[in-house]
Amino acid sequence: MVDDLLWTNLGHMRNAWGGHVDACRAECTFNGMAPKVVVSVRDPYGYWRSLFTYAWVGDGSALGIPAGVDSFTGFVRWADAQASARSDGAFEHSLSFTLYLACGHPCRHDYLLRTETLETDWYRMLSTLELPLVALPHSNPTKLYMRPPPPTIFTWEVVEIIDRLESSVFDEFGYVRREAPFELRV
């Protein structure tokens, strides 16, 4: 769809509504038809497992594992300390902060794609827009790691930190907060 000029992927946008997205809407609106803004979101717990795994593997991640961190709990504690050191209390790699920069608060978008129902949401959006029903490619470079990450065990402490750092995602997008410790496997 990119080759057919039907899609421009602006990727992981930072400060989007103050820049790229608004500029794109202004420059790409023709005959009163503005481009559509598509946002994807995922369950915050799955997001944090993915954030940790990518940081651990290091391939393609904007975030590495800090020195001395050797567990998922240590990683989440480190992120919490980073957030506490900021005046706004945000962790810059959290889903809440990333979505805030990409689409504001509340999130302004035309289409929302949830990772948990991505294929269905994708085809529904394409059908609504009368675009070709192009399949989404699937790529997960973390499956190629040489050094497997430690287990992602969500203790009470980890759940509490994630619930706080991602409160806007839970509230705005209706994700359910867990009420007991659990483990997500890769």
What tens digit of pLDDT does each residue of 106-162 get? 888 899 999 999 999 999 999 999 988 988 877 666 565 567 788 899 999 999 999
So what's the pLDDT on residue 12? Answer: 55
Reported residue count of the chain is 186
Q: Distance (Å, rounded) from C-alpha 102 to C-alpha 99?
A: 5
Q: What is the pLDDT of residue 96?
A: 92
Q: What is the mean pLDDT of residues 49-67?
A: 81
Asked if the model's pLDDT at residue 179 lies above 60, the reply is yes
Mean pLDDT of the chain: 84
Taking CA atoms, 21 is separated from 11, 35, 81, 107, 175, in Å, by 11, 9, 31, 13, 26
Map out the domains of the chain as residue ranges. Answer: 16-184
- pLDDT score, position 162: 97
- Residue 85 pLDDT greater than 80, yes or no: yes
pLDDT of residue 140: 65
Cα distance between residue 176 and residue 186, in whole Å: 20
For 17-41, the pLDDT digits (tens) are 455 666 777 777 888 877 888 889 9
